[in-house]
Amino acid sequence: MALRRFDQINVIPFIDIMLVLLAIVLTTATFISQGELNVTLPQATAAQPASTNPALVISINAEGALFLDGAPITQPALNARLDSVEKTQVIVCSVDKKTAFGDFVTVVDALKSRGLEHLSIRTESLP
């Protein structure tokens, strides 16, 4: 029995794999492009509507990850960004109700140490 020599490569399995990877990337990209942070806000009886002035929004999700205006950010990068913020800038803090209190205190401490006193905490009003 003689062995047959292969002069060509069968690219059909390679194309199948690439199509599956393309489908995965496109599916993942649609979830990323929506840009919605999943933060479950705590409820408060004295909640007031937010002002219409543009504000700097700092969010902390349930895992303690930080976001600045919807974009992920580290604590050192947030500190550097806060150094350039004006003292009159309105800052809205959106914190998931399952977030560790220490994560929230770290952000508030960074704001207070820079004299940023115009802080609002986003909540949901009780029905």
Question: What's the pTM?
Answer: 0.58
Instruction: State the pLDDT at residue 38.
Output: 64
pLDDT digits (tens, 9 = 90+) for 9-45: 888 888 999 999 988 887 776 555 445 556 666 666 6
| Length of the chain measured in residues | 127
Which residues fall within 8 angstroms of residue 35, CB to CB, at 6 or more apart? 70
Q: Which of 114, 116, 119 is nearest to 94 (CA)?
A: 119
78 contacts 107 by C-beta, under 8 angstroms: yes
CATH level 2 (architecture), domain 43-125: 2-Layer Sandwich (3.30)
Q: What angle do CA 65, 59, 55 make, to 5 degrees?
A: 150
pLDDT digits (tens, 9 = 90+) for 66-101: 999 888 999 999 999 998 888 888 888 888 888 888
What are the extents of the domains in the chain?
43-125
